[in-house]
Every structure is written in structure tokens, then in C-alpha cells.
Copies of this chain bind each other. A is one copy, B any other.
């Protein structure tokens, strides 16, 4: 199909498609003349992925890294998760104090040193923000966070498809990034409903 048909099929404007082509998020179509190229189903699928990443707040540079990880995946699913995380996480700030984050991770019974410093730094940044706002998560709530997240993640990892490496790559890379807004949205719904139950005022 031509670029105009690709735009109609995916509901992405031609100008935006050209931008993604320039940014190398979308591979070139097959040239049919100096000014024309044709696109196939792989372009449709890739465009949907780019839009989904954008919808999830993933920027252009991080999207390019996610797509690179999809196109050229490492063999081990454990490395794959690391690549997906690295792609969408900011670089480590050397000045960041990781002590509190490492202590929190230890409560899971894991060695913080076993973990990618970029992800420990993510926890440290989040704790720093809470700290600067003068907000303390009560111990019992933090315990529930650690237990709840562990339970969710074990189910995620157990469900990694083992039938094809393509499916595994897609599942890990997209599941990591695109599921985040769903979890936050479900938390807000649950907060309203549980608080309605506790304070006898559901639904207002």
C-alpha cells in the first residue's frame, strides 16, 4: 500500500508517518520510484506499536531503544527484561544515594547488588521524591506493596510465552512498559472503592 493508504489504515496522519520514518522508528517502505514507496502489514503493526508507546508516555528516543530491543533481541529472557527496562529508564545519577532503596529491596530477601543499578536508582528517585514532600509510607503499607508487587510479578514472569522467542520478546518488552498505566488506573479505582467501603460512602 502507499503511504496515504497506510495513514488511512492506521489512523496516523501522513506527516506523522514521515516523521517516524525520519526518526528511524518505522523502517523505509520498498521504493517503487524516486518519490514513491510501498508499505506492508509489518509497517501497520509497527505503527500501532509506536502509537501505543507514545500513548504510554514513552518518548521518541526510548521508543527507538524499545524497537531496537524487539528487532534484535538477546537470547535469554532475563537479559531481555534488562534491555526493555534500560530502554525506558533514565540514566543513573551518580550523586543519588541508593542506601534506602537497597534496604527496601533487601526486605524482599534479595541482594540489591544482584539488581541493575539503573532500576535501584529508579526506586531511590521515587523514595527521594516522597522524602522531599515529607511523605512517609507506613511500614504496614510498604509491606503490602512489597508482597503485592512480588505476587503480581511472579505471575507475569510465569506467563512469559515459551512457544516462540518472538512472542517472548513482545510479551516482555511490551508487558513491562505498556502495562504500567493499567496498574496505576486499577489502583485508583480500587482506592475509591475500598475507601467507599471503609467510610460508608461508595460511589460519590
Q: Using CB atoms and an 8 Å cutoff, list the residues of chain A in contact with chain B.
A: 45, 48-49, 51-53, 55-56, 76-79, 81-82, 85, 89, 104-105, 108, 110-111, 113-116, 119-120, 122-123, 125-130, 132-135, 137-138, 140-141, 143-160, 170-171, 174-176, 178-196, 198-204
Main SS at interface, chain A: helix
Q: Which residue of B lies closest to A124 (CB)?
A: B185
B155 and A140 within 8 A (CB): yes
B81 and A150 within 8 A (CB): no
Residues of B contacting A129 with CB < 8 Å? 52, 55-56, 178, 181
| Complex CA–CA separation, A79 to B202 (angstroms) | 9
Q: Report copies per complex.
A: 2
| Complex CA–CA separation, A85 to B81 (angstroms) | 31
A77 and B195 within 8 A (CB): yes
Also in contact, A141 and B155, with CB within 8 A (given A81-B195, A119-B188, A179-B130): yes
Also in contact, A130 and B52, with CB within 8 A (given A135-B170, A145-B152, A195-B157): yes
B153 and A194 within 8 A (CB): yes
A152 and B144 within 8 A (CB): yes
Task: Identify 8 residue pairs between A and B in the complex whose beta-carbon atoms are under 8 Å apart, listed by A's number.
Answer: A52-B133, A78-B195, A89-B188, A114-B203, A126-B182, A141-B152, A148-B152, A150-B194
